[in-house]
């Protein structure tokens, strides 16, 4: 069975979402597109770092931000300016974070297909940034992660990324996982750092395998607690 991380996220929110074949569905905050622009600028910058060997100066970030964010926006609209100000603050924190990372970037927007259950099932996802330390250990960085620590640890994107690296680079230990959470309306950024042990990695595998097996076996229940946020609510027959 071929799945994407979006399929797994939809199913784990409410199995009827996946079954009904709708696209993801949870209501997005108004700043969602702006957060996507921050992620695009950050991965572009690290791509430049891959070529030059150093983090580009802040002026490069600022120029790229203007070209990305203002491409389809009107300057006269004050809400656009307020949103841009909040995003710029978050970008400065990302700039500082990346200048302090001692590892070398190795991959940007690393797309992978995780193989499970004797290669019968495949799940596609992406890791925004992969760094390698001097002693060949791997550091993963996820952008737009959940704000709460416990949700970050359970995040499917993180868990799939850990499994993909374990599968693709079995000789390299994952020494650290970073997650950047962005709360633009409140001008807050939180950077989670997780040092995964073997128990965490085994837990990732059993979680993902369990989810894939449930999808294949068509195990379904309605998540009534999530209905108020679900965008297909009006069309749902459950
Ligand atoms: S409206 Fe509720 S039961 Fe229906 S798909 Fe959405 S979350 Fe599930």
CATH of the domain at 50: 3.90.320
Q: How many structural domains does the chain have?
A: 1
User: Which domain does 170 fall in, by range?
Assistant: 2-235
User: pTM of the entire structure?
Assistant: 0.90
Q: Nearest-CA neighbor of 24 among 34, 33, 36, 14?
A: 14
> Using N-to-C axis directions, what is the helix angle for 32-52 and 78-100, rounded to 10°?
40
Ligand 1: residue of 219, 220, 227, 228 to mutate (most ligand atoms within 8 A of CB) is 227
- For residues 92 and 80, give the distance between their C-alpha atoms in angstroms, rounded to a whole number: 18
- Ligand 1 contact, 230 CB (< 6 A): yes
Q: Tokens for 33, please give them.
A: 């597109």
- For 181-224, what is each residue's pLDDT tens digit? 998 878 788 999 999 999 999 999 999 999 999 999 989 888 88
| Cβ–ligand 1 contact at 11 (below 6 Å) | no
Structure tokens, 194? 């997780």
Say yes or no: CB of residue 28 within 6 Å of ligand 1: no
Beta bridge partners of 123: 3, 114
Q: How confident is the model at residue 63 (pLDDT cuts 50, 70, 90)?
A: very high
Largest interatomic CA distance in the chain:
56
pLDDT at 233 over 70: no
């Amino acid at each position: 069975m071929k799945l994407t991380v979006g399929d797994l996220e939809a199913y784990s929110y409410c199995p009827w979402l996946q079954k009904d074949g709708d696209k993801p569905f949870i209501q997005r905050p108004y700043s969602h597109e702006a957060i996507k622009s921050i992620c695009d600028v950050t991965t572009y910058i690290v791509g430049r770092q891959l070529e030059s060997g150093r983090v580009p100066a802040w002026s490069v970030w600022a120029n790229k931000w203007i070209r990305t964010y203002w491409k389809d926006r009107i300057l006269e609209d004050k809400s656009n300016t307020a949103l841009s100000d909040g995003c710029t603050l978050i970008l400065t924190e990302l700039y500082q974070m990346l200048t302090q990372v001692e590892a070398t970037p190795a991959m940007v927007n690393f797309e992978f297909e995780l193989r499970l259950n004797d290669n019968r099932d495949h799940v596609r996802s992406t890791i925004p940034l992969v760094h390698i330390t001097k002693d060949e250990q791997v550091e993963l960085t996820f952008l737009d992660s959940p704000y709460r620590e416990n949700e970050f640890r359970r995040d499917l994107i993180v868990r799939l990324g850990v499994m993909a690296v374990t599968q693709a680079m079995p000789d390299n230990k994952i020494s650290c996982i970073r997650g950047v959470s962005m709360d633009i309306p409140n001008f807050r950024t939180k950077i989670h750092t997780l040092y995964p042990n073997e128990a965490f990695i085994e837990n990732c595998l059993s979680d993902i395998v369990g989810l894939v097996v449930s999808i294949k076996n068509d195990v379904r229940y309605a998540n009534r607690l999530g209905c108020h946020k679900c965008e297909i609510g009006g069309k749902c027959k459950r």
